[in-house]
Structure 1
Amino acid sequence: MKTLKELYQDIMKKELENGRKLEEETDAYSLDCLLHPKNHAAVIAKNNCTDCNMDHDCQKSCVFDAISKIDGRLYIDPAKCAGCGACIDACKMGNLIENKEIYPLLEVLAEQKKEVYALVAPAFIGQFGEDVTEGKMRSACKSAGFSGMVEVAAFADILTLKEALEFHVNIHKKGDFQLTSCCCPVWIAMIRNVYHELIGHVPGAVSPMIAAGRVVKALHPDAFTVFIGPCMAKKKEAKEEDIADAIDVVLTFEEMNDIFEALGIDPKTETEDIREHSSMAGRIYAKAGGVSEAVKMTAEQLNLENTVEIKAERADGVKNCKELIQRILNGKTDANFFEGMACVGGCVGGPKVLIEKESGREYVTQYGKAASYQTPLENPYIREVLERLGFTEIEDFVEHSRLLDRTFS
């Protein structure tokens, strides 16, 4: 029987062949090589885009104007592309595909010289099988060669606490409002690039993915971090200049499932490795409305003096997010906390999920209910992590912190 290293070397050969084939089919103007994913767009255009007979539906679908027509041909601007995947859905000819980052991971796993940590998004529950718990997923990742698995939901806990405290500091009267920065990179990209007049209402916080990667690297400086989730846009987020220190590779659930299948790993049959690290608040980030619910619960539990009651409004789907933002700009809402998610249903409706979003939402709801703790304030694991990172005072969450903060421009 082949060793894990030999199995990965076999997969690498196939991926290299696929990469070379794809490179031959793609346009050198808009991307570099598949095997150097830090250098090209989140979405890749094949050469036969010149044969498009679909009236450029991809260009019309892009709210970021990332697709341009030059000399009669369409090109994707990596600087503008948010990686949301709307153009892929719009292209009926199959000329657009997502950037895959599986090869760099396989190389590291085959070398077996670094600690490699899987950072798994809370939307994972139910994706790899009805009975695949957090404990079985951890064991499956270890069977695949990872050193360990980290629940990103635990870092959603930390960011929930930070957002609740930011709300207390920033919202004092009617007319004040806050837009969540906690979760969706496409929502943030819309605000930064299209509705930038609202950027002052977004707390300068990183996403749970970035927080998880930074904390892992703070505790294990030589670690290789791999985020695993349903979202293509996370690939682009991980490469943004001010936060590119956190995540080495982003895989979708589809890519991770391909690895499991190639190695003959069935997560359903793995043993339980139970270590409960997240509260309900962090787990429900994966569904639309989850961030609002989590922050509201935590703010109420903080019970700080002179805190304004959170009146939340949320939208899911790019069209609905745009409509919500327009209502904010027009003063047509009396809410003071706004949550937006680009995918219908939230992360459970992401472009690379393995099950229907309705089922995913139900799995996440039940996963949240099964948590031993309701909020990060009740979660002893979060207290321990924060103490190890040197956070001892509430003010630490609203003053500058390299691990949890970023500057939006």
Structure 2
Amino acid sequence: MEKYIISNQANCKYCYKCLRNCPVKSISFSDNISKVIDSECVLCGKCIEVCPQDAKKYLFEYERLKYFFGKKFLVSVSPSFFSHFDEPFKVISYLKKNGAIISETSIGAELVSNEYKKLSGIKISTACPVVVDLVEKYYPEKIKYLSPVVSPAIAHARFLKQYFGNYPLVFISPCIAKKRELEEEYDLVLTFEELEKFLESEKVDIFDFEDDFPQEPHPKLARFYPISGGILKTLGETFEQVFNVEGVKNIKDFLDRVDDIDGNYFVEMSACIGGCIEGPASRKDISQLEKRIRLSQNIKKIPEGLAIENVELDLKREFKDKKHYHNYTEQQIQEVLFSIGKTDKSKELNCSACGYDTCREKAIAVLEKKAEKEMCITYLIDKVSTVSNMVVEETPNLILIVKDGNINYKNKAARLTFMSLSNKKLWEILKDVEQSEFKEIALNNKNLKFFVKKFSLPEDSGEVFILTDVTKELEQEERVKIIKKQTIEKIEEVLNKQMLLAQEIASLLGESIAETKSHFTEFKRYMEEENDYL
């Protein structure tokens, strides 16, 4: 069941673009329906970004924000808030006017960095929920490298409860994956897009409000967490070396090779290239550089205040192996590969047109009922070609393909009909045919009559001749003409005899003979009409 990313089936056009771009292939195609597999999805939001039909969207819950208004509630705003909104401090003022206590998630980030400093060996940051999901679901053997520390958002939630009291919690960020990560920690998790939608639905003119700022206490360096290298800035000289890896593909490459590294290293990881300021629900109309500048400028506007000190919180975290293991035998996989024409390794093109990186992965997906055989374009082409060839080969019409005066192909009907005629003689008969005309061909002491249709193949590949044998139809037409003629002759004979008889008994019949003649004349004319049917 789809929970966080939802598919609009009416718009899905089976282009497989979402699957091709999904780094973990957590999208199923079955019975003409595309769905996100929630248990396998890491919520990176790539499928939403790339879908040309807008057939993917994430869970919008912005209407629920109104339920918190009118009484005190706590709001954690992620640091990229200050790079996203044109007037971030007016938005804060609006929320405050409706009962919100606004606090910066960067406080939680600072607490998390303090925990990171206590670690040693090779450690990966766990601030990004996509990274954590990726390791737990697809690289569980690398869990040992994850820093056993909660994310800044969770650390902040625990801090807010301790510092301000037990009030409802709302989190706002540019991250879709936070919706799943924080569902047990916060009462409502919104994206920046959702907050904008809420302001629009409430017809809020943000310029009606004066600038206002987040509540104390304030963080120190952690406000730069959402930019590349932002986490590393908070670690000082704790580790022998620090570096950052961004983008799910690069993260997967790193995880594939991390076992070869020794030392005391800290790795800052973000699923979004550029950091959280480039999150899936962040603005796309301004550049990453402009976002960094906005973040820096707006941070400077926040008045200095009380810093966090002597905070005692349990921020430890454990991770689980959530990998989906399949138990298909090699024989089962090979049977699927054979069924889609991959009868040997040379035919496993691994072209990725279906969305999977290899034909083998696709075969496993078919077994798991996540994919259909028809998603393989080479299989489809072969299937369509086979059907087309069968139709051409078995049709009763005679089909020939000619290139540069050479007959390169004759279907079964043409081979049987022209068995006694050489290709050279056959071409002599056909070469003067225009687009369509009747042609008489002498075969085996019989004159066969054909209706010939000719057309050219694209890219100067030759000409196709389709011959329909109309000999029987024309012979039938000739027989009909003969029957008509014989019938008319019989009518005339009967009419003449009737006239003789009429003359002998004219005195008895009077004018009735004239009427009889009239009827026979009309019948004769009717029989002579071209469109008559016998």
The answer to whether TM tops 0.5 is yes
Query: Are positions 1:207 and 2:151 aligned together?
Result: yes
| Residue aligning to 2:9 | 47
**Counterpart amino acid of 2:103?**
V
| Residue aligning to 2:225 | 285
**TM-score for the superposition, normalised by structure 2:** 0.55
Task: Choose the corresponding residue for 2:84, options 124, 127, 131.
Answer: 127
Task: Choose the corresponding residue for 2:134, options 183, 190, 198.
Answer: 190
| Residue aligning to 1:224 | 168
SS at match of 1:74: strand
5 Å-filtered alignment, 1:10-409, equals 30-31=1-2, 41-48=3-10, 51-54=12-15, 56-109=16-69, 112=70, 114-129=71-86, 132-133=88-89, 136-143=90-97, 145-165=98-118, 167=119, 171=120, 176-181=121-126, 183-219=127-163, 222-239=166-183, 244=184, 246-261=185-200, 262-266=202-206, 269-273=209-213, 275=215, 277-295=217-235, 297=236, 300=237, 309-331=239-261, 336-354=265-283, 355-366=286-297, 381-383=307-309, 386=311, 391=312, 401=314, 404-409=315-320
Q: Is the 8 A contact 1:186 1:342 kept in 2?
A: yes
Deviation at 1:84, TM superposition (A): 1.4
Shift of the 290–370 alpha-carbon distance from structure 1 to 2, 3 Å rule, reads: farther
Q: Aligned partners of 1:84, 1:206: CA distance in 2, in Å?
A: 19
Q: Aligned partners of 2:26, 2:108: CA distance in 1, in Å?
A: 31
Deviation at 1:78, TM superposition (A): 2.0
Q: Aligned partners of 2:301, 2:93: CA distance in 1, in Å?
A: 20
Shift of the 283–337 alpha-carbon distance from structure 1 to 2, 3 Å rule, reads: same
**Counterpart amino acid of 2:293?**
E
**Counterpart amino acid of 1:163?**
Y
Shift of the 146–405 alpha-carbon distance from structure 1 to 2, 3 Å rule, reads: farther
The superposition leaves residues 52-71 of structure 1 with CA deviations (integer Å, 9 ceiling, x where unpaired) of 241x1212222333212334
Larger radius of gyration: 2
SS at match of 1:254: helix
Deviation at 1:94, TM superposition (A): 0.9
Deviation at 1:334, TM superposition (A): 6.2
The superposition leaves residues 268-325 of structure 1 with CA deviations (integer Å, 9 ceiling, x where unpaired) of 9523346553334210101011112212x2xx3xxxxxxx643012111222222232
Q: Is the 8 A contact 1:157 1:278 kept in 2?
A: no
Q: How many residues align?
A: 317
Identity of counterpart residues, as a percentage?
Answer: 26
Deviates further, 316-325 or 202-211: 316-325
Q: Aligned partners of 1:368, 1:350: CA distance in 2, in Å?
A: 19
**Counterpart amino acid of 2:124?**
L
Considering Cα pairs closer than 8 Å and 6+ residues apart, tell me whether 1 or 2 has the greater RCO.
Answer: 1
For structure 2, which runs of at least 5 residues remain unmatched after alignment?
321-534
The CA RMSD over aligned residues, in Å, is 2.7
Q: Is the 8 A contact 2:44 2:177 kept in 1?
A: yes
SS at match of 1:117: strand
Higher strand share goes to which structure?
2
Deviation at 1:149, TM superposition (A): 0.5
Q: Aligned partners of 2:209, 2:143: CA distance in 1, in Å?
A: 47
SS at match of 1:286: coil
Q: Aligned partners of 2:301, 2:166: CA distance in 1, in Å?
A: 34
Shift of the 255–163 alpha-carbon distance from structure 1 to 2, 3 Å rule, reads: same
For structure 1, which runs of at least 5 residues remain unmatched after alignment?
1-29, 32-40, 301-307, 374-378
**TM-score for the superposition, normalised by structure 1:** 0.70
Q: Is the 8 A contact 1:132 1:267 kept in 2?
A: no
Q: Aligned partners of 1:156, 1:63: CA distance in 2, in Å?
A: 27
**Counterpart amino acid of 1:204?**
P
Shift of the 365–316 alpha-carbon distance from structure 1 to 2, 3 Å rule, reads: farther
